Structures are given as structure tokens and as C-alpha cells.
Structure 1
């Protein structure tokens, strides 16, 4: 496969930026001497621990891990990502899989609801004008703002997480589906009427294929929002999942594991977006 010079230059620049990030990280975590502003001796172990530093070290080291410490901790976690020693000691692979499973259910339900409703709204301008004020009011509400209502009514933490995914990914898919259907050329619809095509054939052979690029765009945006929301929801009510893992490791003051989880969240979100990007290009047509 041919690699262009711009691709080589872009990759080289990315690696250079990554190297600079690691250099800044290393310098920021170098040992420093500590002087107490309250006249407490530097060798006081309780003061050192209170400040998040290791007592007795050469200089007092900061609590934030160095790159080497992070890589050692990450390799330990990734060595057995699917270990299962009980609810409080599961590998990061299980936690990531639990989050993806919740996203799959909530996001799938949102698609099942949003696409048919979007078709109806897009085909009927009167219905669009009627429901648009409700959509505009509900769309900007933070998914986490629904959590108290969901907990009170559903009374199940697992189902509440799925509900948050559903409600936050519903609106992008719904609005993009309605917009895509409404943008289909009227000439095409008139030709379908002239040929006396049934409504089912119009939807499957005309409307959905013509609006597919816009629908996929909404699905892509909805999935990105869903992946953002599930992490925050699991921090609040989860007993498993990558969000729960982040919060649990923070409570254990394991910053290296928190950084690892944050990177895995980003990489997973990137892979999901790349997959939808490929799907979007496959259904995009040139006029």
C-alpha cells in the first residue's frame, strides 16, 4: 500500500509530540525537596504522607506516577485483564466489557426507537413542527441530570445506566434521521408514487438508502455521547464497568490505574468512531 509523504510527516510529527509529552511528564514527576511553611521538619513522616509524598525518600517524591511507574502498573493490569477474584477485584478487561455491554443495550434501544420516529417526523412537516419544541427542550439536558429521576422510578442501578445511554443517544439519531428523510429529493418520491410503490418498499428502497449517510452520522454522534455518558453514570451508581473502575482506583489512590483506564476509554471511543466512519463512507454516494 502506497504511503504518501504527508502521511509520513504526520506520523513523524505525532511521534515527536508524544515524545515531548513523555518528557514533560518525566520532568514534572522528578523528586523535589519539601519545605514546610509551618516550621514542621522535613523529615516528619506524617507531614510527608499528608502532602502525598513518600517519607524517607531521597528528596520527597510526588504522588503522581512517573512514566516508568505507569508502564509497570499498566503491564501488571494488562497481564491478566480478565481475572475474576470477586466483585471488587476484576480485571480491567471485564470492566471494559461490562461498559460496552451496557452501551450496546441502551444504544440499540435508542436506534430502534429513533429511526422509526425520525422517519415519521421527516415525512410529515406538521408532526415535525409539533414535536420540535419538545426535542429542543429535552436535547440539551445532561444525561446525568436524569439519574435522580431514573433511580427514583426504576430503582435499579444497572437499568438506570442503560436508561442514561438510551436517553442521551436518542436525540442525535432521531434528529439526523428526520433531517435526512426530509432532505430526500421530492422528485424521487414522486417517481415512487408514479410507480405505485408500497410504503414499505418506499421506505426500504428509497428513503432509508437516500438518507443513510445522514442517519449514520446521527448514529455516530449518538454512540460517542453514549460512551461519554456511561463512564460518568458508572461512577455514580455502577458496581462494575470502566467508570466504576476509575472511581474505585481513585478511592484506592492508584493514579497509575486511573490514567490507564482513561487511556483505554479514549482508545475504545476512537475505535468505535473509526468503525462508524468506515460504515458512513460505505453508504455515502456521489451525486
Structure 2
């Protein structure tokens, strides 16, 4: 009988040890496995296929191993500064982000304001909406010669291109959100006799926030796309000009690295705006 008790105790020991693993660690492991494993596997498969296709001496594009070896100095020293345009990738990206920040901020202020006007006023919608629909179809780079002629400087010209590119989805989504505010909300505002500022802060903005942030997410993505293209033409320090300069120097590996950084930064910008949208729309609707 004692032998049976001893066997049962030994068989139960592993179970008691496993039960001491915190629940949050097990849950974190499951979430990590669910969210990280698929992209890691696909990325490794993509790199393998890329390596196989581009390893031939006749290939015009470098394989990932060559890209890594060719650009190691850029990766290891992102903040070097040799003066002029000869600076590290971090400074290139920060210069582009600075232009995007100025242009995008202006687009947010003007876009939300015009969107509220168009959404609230039937006359404004009839007068401005056709103009907006025509102007938003103009390609971003088509504005660059006009902005260069007007500003006579490459930096404000690039900022203007960002502004004119990002503003349209913000206007359109904001106006749609304003027009879709439930009539009950408007009736509550009339009963409470809210003034214009109170109505905007307590009724209009919370109700239309999901639409507004949808426009903001589209706008920040277009901003990042436009600045890279604009910098290829206006020059100076920036990730777009870095790509164009690398092409002129036939540094294909540098271009590949820059494109990777562009994609990562664009993804981070989108996630930041989405995170801000979830904070604002919490308790009202999903952003």
C-alpha cells in the first residue's frame, strides 16, 4: 500500500510543477505563438525564395545576404554625420518625418475644419464637394512644380505636397462622419442648449471620431508615400533623396535597405494613428 501511495505521489509531481506556471505567462505564450509565428514563417520563406532567385551571377538584384553585407555600415551607424547630405539613415528618416509632421498637422487642422463645415452645411457641401472631388484626383507629384514656383524653396514645397495629398481623405471622412451623426444626438444638444463649442466637443467629435480617424489613417499613409516621391525631386536630406542618390550611384543594396526602413516607418505611423483612434473612440465605437 505504501508503494502505491509513493507511485501516485511521484506521478502527480510533474502536474503540480506545471500548475505553478503563471496563467499570464501561458496566455502570453499562446498570443505570441498565434501572432508572431505566421509573419516570421512567411518572412523566412520570402527571404529564402529571394536568396534562391537572386543568387545567380546574372541576377540584376542582390540577394538578402549581399544586401546585409553591403549595407552593414549603414545599419550599424545610423547616426553618422559627415556633413552635407552624407548622413546616416536615421537622420535621413528624421528629416523626412519632420516634413511629414508639418504637412500632416496642417492637413489635419484644415481637413477636419473643412469636413465639419461640409458635413454641417448643405450649401457648403453643394459648393465645395464638387471642387474637392476634382482636386483629390490630381496626383500628388503634379502639385510639386506649382509649389516650387510659388514657394521658391524645396522644403516648403515638399511640405505643401504632403498637405495637399493628406487633406482629401480627412475632409471626406470627416464630412461623412458629421452627416451620419444620429438625429437623437442633435435633439439632445438642442434640449441641453449647447453652444457651438460644447456641441463640437461633446456631441460631434465623439460621434464622428471613428470616421475622422479612418481619414487620418489614410492621410498619414498617403503623406509618407508622397514625401518619399517628392524628396526624389526636390533633393536635400531625406529618405526619398537617399533612394534617388543611391540609384544614381548604382547602390542597389542601399535602395533595398531604404525601402525596408520606409515600410517599417510607414507601418509604425499607421499603428500610432490607429492607437490614438482607439483611445478617442473608446466607449463610443470601434476606431
Between Structure 1 and Structure 2, how many residues are aligned?
259
- Deviations 1:180-216 (Å, cap 9, x if unpaired)? 1111112211221122111111111111111111111
One of 92, 96, 99 as aligned partner of 1:99: 96
Alignment of 1:163-174 (within 5 A): 163-174=160-171
Distance 1:62 1:117 in 2: 51
Whether 1:277 aligns to 2:274 is: yes
Distance 1:132 1:198 in 2: 26
Alignment of 1:21-100 (within 5 A): 21-32=46-57, 62=59, 64-100=61-97
- Aligned partner of 1:117 in structure 2 is 114
TM-score (norm 2): 0.85
One of 146, 157, 162 as aligned partner of 1:160: 157
Distance 2:104 2:35 in 1: 34
Q: Unpaired runs of 5+ in structure 2?
A: 1-23
Distance 1:221 1:258 in 2: 25
- What secondary structure does 1:65 align onto? coil
Distance 1:99 1:30 in 2: 33
CA contact (8 A) 1:158 1:238 kept: no
Q: Unpaired runs of 5+ in structure 1?
A: 33-60
Larger radius of gyration: 2
- Aligned partner of 2:42 in structure 1 is 17
- Aligned partner of 1:204 in structure 2 is 201
Distance 1:132 1:200 in 2: 24
- Deviations 1:167-187 (Å, cap 9, x if unpaired)? 000111111111111111122
Distance 1:123 1:139 in 2: 21
Distance 2:71 2:42 in 1: 21
